[in-house]
Amino acid sequence: MTPRQLADLIAAHAAALVLFARQWCDTPEDATQEAFCQLAAVRAPPGDPVAWLFRVTRNAAIDIGRSTRRRQRREQAAARPVRWFAEAEVDGLDAATAVAALETIPPEQREVIVARLWGGLTLEQVATAAGCSVSTAFRRFEAGIATLRERFGVPCPK
């Protein structure tokens, strides 16, 4: 396909292709551009380039729409606050207070503490789950517990 033929197709059909793609995605211009780029890249032009453009634009728009919806679901899930405990009180501890305290410590320490205290895992199991050595799991646990004791104003037992 010559550059002139491609330019003529763009001039004649780009607006209709954008309108057509709008059914499936919020960025129909991207789908249309993708179709024209693919047309420019094919070795042998299709027998009916207009129908081919509509099909490729449709497929690109559907892909873009799916991708957008997946991204929005991921972003919404990430934006939702983490609900740690189903109950308002856990083992005599106010769940909201516990969550607030847990969120202040580094994730590496938090995962070890939650797995150890509420999951009931041994330090060996915690280390396996966290992908670290037992000594690292222990250090994280101790550091996290020390931080939590400080936040709650609970002295370290002697």
Q: Is 27 helix (H, G, I), strand (E, B) or coil?
A: coil
Q: For 89-152, which CATH class?
A: mainly alpha
Predicted pLDDT at 119: 83
pLDDT tens for residues 124-151? 999 998 899 999 999 999 999 999 888 8
Of residues 89, 119, 138, 143, the one with CA closest to residue 151? 143
DSSP secondary structure, 33-56, as one string: HHHHHHHHH-SS--SSHHHHHHHH
Predicted pLDDT at 81: 62
Task: Label residue 114 by pLDDT band (50, 70, 90).
Answer: confident
- The CATH 1.10.10.10 domain(s) of the chain lie at 89-152
Task: Label residue 84 by pLDDT band (50, 70, 90).
Answer: low
pLDDT tens for residues 91-109? 666 777 777 888 889 989 9
